[in-house]
Copies of this chain bind each other. A is one copy, B any other.
Amino acid sequence: MRMVSLLGAALVVALLAFLAPAVADDDETVAGRIVGAALVDPGAYDRLAYLTDRIGPRLSGSDNLDAAIRWAAAELRADGLDDVHTEPVRVPHWVRGEERGAILAPAAHPLVLTTLGGSVATPPGGITADVVAVPGFEELERLGDAVRGKMVLFDRPIVRNGGAEHGYGSAVELRVHGASHAAKQGAVAVLVRSLGTASYRLPHTGVMSYDDGAPKVPGVAITAEDADLVERLLATGATVRVHLEVGARTLPDADSANVVADLRGRERPDEIVVIGCHLDSWDVGTGAIDDGAGCAIVMQAVATLKRLGLRPRRTIRAVLYTNEENGTRGGKGYAEAHAGEIERHVAAIESDSGAGTPLGFGVTAGDGGVEAVRALAGRLLGIGAADVRSGGGGTDISPLRKAGVPSLSLRQDTTYYFDWHHTDADTLDKVDPEDLARNVAAMAWMAWSLAERDAPLPRPAAGEGDGE
């Protein structure tokens, strides 16, 4: 019986080999294998669920971020990747503390607010002051001395899909630099209208920084509703008086690390395509869309290629950066640690715009680079990710870009991204597993393509893409 079985099995194998079409390992075939494998694989979502549900938010200096770094390295090792290791980086250690605020006059209202990352605390007992509201720095300057002793509300609404004119980028300078601008004119604190695109009394945090020489005054983001209320009260001619208490502290820098894992190249292992994301997050929500999703995409992209036995010509390197949110020390640290091999970095792709369906790529490269990437992305038409535009990169890979590395961003649909970005509502339920899997497919295919093609992408001029 056993003999008969073995003979039968051998026959079947021979027959199958005869019937199977000759499968060339060509571009289209590989694209199909990568995209298909990514789309049927729930792995990215499972990783993201663990990262957000079991570890949680991951602010620099927190135990959670340390746990996430250990977890990610262990996962990538289990995936069988090469030379998985962490690269130490010192990061800012800011902690939020208690925070509260209220309108005292002309009527009592609580303010729903969140301290901006990096803010100093209020003095004991808090700060009470009258509010002046401005839409931007020009209007602030025109107020001159009228700002002295006041609390300044920076109130510039952003709109959904608002682009450079009316989107996040149009107002983020107010959050980052508003406190110092106002303090130079004598303001005692700043309130910033949350940079968000929905109205659910949800404050949006984010980083702020102090200019050298400017007095350090506290900065908080209030909700869109509360900013509207202040404006309406001011419009009646009333004096609007606000009380603010912020307990934030900046502790000494903490130890942290980037997580690095290679899928080593078969022909030119010392030439590198970086695919990156950031593992840190704000301390509100669980950092699912910013940027847990990006890290799930990056991890699953290299794991998928590895699992498929696809060893690229050059090395594909996953880098899970630390401290993107409040210091960008991870990105700077990687570029410094690898300064001697920047020339051998042939491209870098970052995923840091959430988990919306992938639309394509943004590209910063030398002449012909956008067209080259567009040709490669053509294979992603069937998953809607073939739209390639000029201008791309990401905060973590910007030091590489500045040093001349062709830089790409995986472009996600961000229609709802700024509804939840930097808030308590940045949680796993905002991520669609299907969209996430499509992102893995797009990232894996582009990384493979850039690592595989004969000629590397043309390098951008130094400084190309700055100011984005």
Interface residues of A (CB under 8 A from B): 49, 53-56, 106-109, 112, 198-202, 224-225, 228-229, 232-233, 285-286, 419-420, 423-425, 427-430
Does B424 lie within 8 Å of A201, measured CB to CB?
yes
Bound-state CA distance A427–B227 (Å) is 12
Does B225 lie within 8 Å of A425, measured CB to CB?
yes
Residue on B with the closest CB to A52? B229
Bound-state CA distance A106–B112 (Å) is 29
Cβ 8 A contact of A224, one of B198, B285, B429? B429
Cβ 8 A contact of A201, one of B54, B56, B199, B285? B285
Other A-B contacts than A54-B107, A228-B427, 10 sampled, CB-CB below 8 A, are A53-B107, A109-B286, A198-B200, A200-B200, A200-B420, A201-B423, A225-B429, A228-B428, A228-B429, A232-B428
Which of A201, A420, A424 counts the most B-chain CB atoms under 10 A from its CB? A201
Bound-state CA distance A430–B54 (Å) is 36
A201 surroundings in chain B (CB, below 8 A): 202, 285, 423-425, 427
A419 surroundings in chain B (CB, below 8 A): 200
A229 surroundings in chain B (CB, below 8 A): 53, 427-428
Does A425 lie within 8 Å of B199, measured CB to CB?
yes
Bound-state CA distance A423–B223 (Å) is 14
Cβ 8 A contact of A106, one of B49, B54, B430? B54
Cβ 8 A contact of A199, one of B112, B225, B429? B429
With A201-B427, A202-B201 as known contacts, state yes or no: A107 contacts B285, CB within 8 Å. Answer: no
A285 surroundings in chain B (CB, below 8 A): 201
**Min distance, Cβ A356 to any Cβ of chain B, angstroms:** 15
With A107-B55, A200-B198, A202-B202 as known contacts, state yes or no: A49 contacts B232, CB within 8 Å. Answer: yes
**Min distance, Cβ A282 to any Cβ of chain B, angstroms:** 13
Residue on B with the closest CB to A229? B53
Does A233 lie within 8 Å of B106, measured CB to CB?
no
**Min distance, Cβ A196 to any Cβ of chain B, angstroms:** 9
Which of A106, A225, A286, A428 counts the most B-chain CB atoms under 10 A from its CB? A225
Bound-state CA distance A112–B49 (Å) is 19
Does A107 lie within 8 Å of B56, measured CB to CB?
yes
Does A202 lie within 8 Å of B200, measured CB to CB?
yes
A106 surroundings in chain B (CB, below 8 A): 54
Residue on B with the closest CB to A202? B200
Bound-state CA distance A315–B445 (Å) is 75
A53 surroundings in chain B (CB, below 8 A): 107, 229, 232-233
Which of A55, A224, A229, A286 counts the most B-chain CB atoms under 10 A from its CB? A229
Does A108 lie within 8 Å of B56, measured CB to CB?
yes
With A232-B49, A425-B225, A427-B229 as known contacts, state yes or no: A109 contacts B200, CB within 8 Å. Answer: no
- 5 A-B pairs within 8 Å (CB atoms) are namely A55-B107, A56-B109, A112-B424, A199-B425, A200-B420
**Min distance, Cβ A424 to any Cβ of chain B, angstroms:** 4
A56 surroundings in chain B (CB, below 8 A): 107-109
Cβ 8 A contact of A427, one of B225, B423, B429? B225
**Min distance, Cβ A306 to any Cβ of chain B, angstroms:** 26
A108 surroundings in chain B (CB, below 8 A): 56
A427 surroundings in chain B (CB, below 8 A): 201, 225, 228-229
Does A199 lie within 8 Å of B430, measured CB to CB?
yes
**Min distance, Cβ A188 to any Cβ of chain B, angstroms:** 24
Bound-state CA distance A283–B107 (Å) is 15
**Min distance, Cβ A461 to any Cβ of chain B, angstroms:** 43
Bound-state CA distance A229–B285 (Å) is 12
**Min distance, Cβ A33 to any Cβ of chain B, angstroms:** 31
7 smallest A-B Cβ distances: which pairs? A200-B200, A201-B425, A201-B424, A225-B427, A54-B107, A200-B425, A228-B429
